Each structure stands twice: as structure tokens, then as C-alpha cells.
Amino acid sequence: MFEKVGTKTINKLLLIAAVLLIAEIILFDGGILFSLLFSGILVYVGHRSYDRAFGKVVFWIGLVSLVMTILSMAVVRFLLFILLVLFLYNYFQAGRHPARPVFSREPPSPKKEPVISQKMWGDQTTPEAYAWNDINVHGGIGDRTIDLSHTVLPEKAIISVRHLAGTLTIYVPYETEVLVHHSALIGRATIFDYRSTHLWNGTVHYQTEDYGWKEPGVRIVTSVLSGDLEVKRI
């Protein structure tokens, strides 16, 4: 949908949306922001206890409240209107000027499957056995589990995860050196024997003694809005 829309145009639309969001928060004395935060907390608490009836009730109440609050925002209606206009514009342009197929003479290169895909909802874990590919993902709500004992690591590997809410768990083999840089608005961090019980808009930096000297080595960069990081030996 956005192939024919310039980056400058998209940036202008995002700027207008940001101004509308700020104006809406100011005009309503932060009521919308409080409603979003409260609904998000209900969703998170319900998701953590979803195996119980109470958790299911709290989860769905929070989700319905969150969706209704988001849809009631002027900035969301503005973005939906813009998306509709862009869709109609591209639809009619495609009818007038259909794209011509382009054939490449070069053989297709093998495609590497991502270890973990971009997922905005639900839990996710690495397969029982997989070929290594550096991880660079962002997610929404849910737990993420990465087990490095199920793959063959290169000399240097990178894991980068940006997440909204949930627990990030990474299992590291004993012979693997690590460097960890973690930031969180709210949460905790447990890295082997190191424990940070409370993180309030804080960062944690951890490095094993032989990182950079021995191989393989894994660089782990994670950031969460609300959640825990657990790095464990296996």
C-alpha cells in the first residue's frame, strides 16, 4: 500500500498524528492515557493468569476496554481515514497502470527462515532444532523463549529483541560467552547469578569474563516496556 508514498509524506502524516495525540491528551486531562494504561494493565495481568477463570475474565475485560479506547481516539480515526484513502488511491492507480512483471536473470538466493518471527500477540519459542540466524525482532504482548542449545552458534551471534510486555527467557550453553544490555521501564532482570529485583526506567549491563576472547560469543540486546528478562545456563 505504501510503495508509491514517499517517506517525507509518511513522516508528515506521523507528525500530524503525534500532534493530534498530544492535543487529545491535553484536552481530556490525560483521561485517555489513564484509560489506555489501566486497560493495558488488565490485559497483562489477565494474560499472566489466563489458565484460571479469573485471568480469562480480566484479560477479556481489559482487551475490550483497550480496543474501545483506541478506536475512540481522534488520532486513530485520522490514521484509519488516511489508510482508506491510500488503499483507494493505489487500487485505482493499479487499474489504470498495471505493474509489469520484471524477470531477473540471476538465480534466486536461498532464503533464511527467521528463528523467531515478528508477533504482536501470544507466546513464542524457538524450535526443537534450527539453523542459526541472528535474531532481530520486535513484539507486543506475550512471553518469548530462545534456547541456544538447540542450534550451532557461529563465532559471534546477535540477539536483539524489543518487546512491550512479557517475559524474555534465553537459555545459553555453558561454553558460550555472553554480553547482555537490557533496558526496561518496569520489570526485573536475572542473568545467571546476577539479579536486579526492580527496574524502573533502568538499564542492566552484564558481561562474562571471557567475552571477546573465547568463542562462541553472543551479544544480547533487549528492551521491554513492562516485563522480565531471564538469562539462564543450560
Do β-strands 194-207 and 177-191 pair in parallel, antiparallel, or remain unpaired? Answer: antiparallel
Report residue 102: phi and psi, to 5°. -115, 125
To 5 degrees, how large is the angle CA 89–CA 1–CA 23?
85
**pLDDT (tens digit, 9 = 90+) per residue, 70-120?**
888 877 887 788 778 877 777 676 666 665 655 556 555 556 677 788 888
Q: Collapse the DSSP code of 121 into the 3-class scheme (helix H, G, I; strand E, B; otherwise coil) and give the result.
A: strand
Q: What is the pTM of this model?
A: 0.61
**pLDDT (tens digit, 9 = 90+) per residue, 10-63?**
667 777 777 777 777 777 656 777 888 888 888 888 887 878 888 888 889 988
Domain boundaries, the chain: 7-96, 119-233
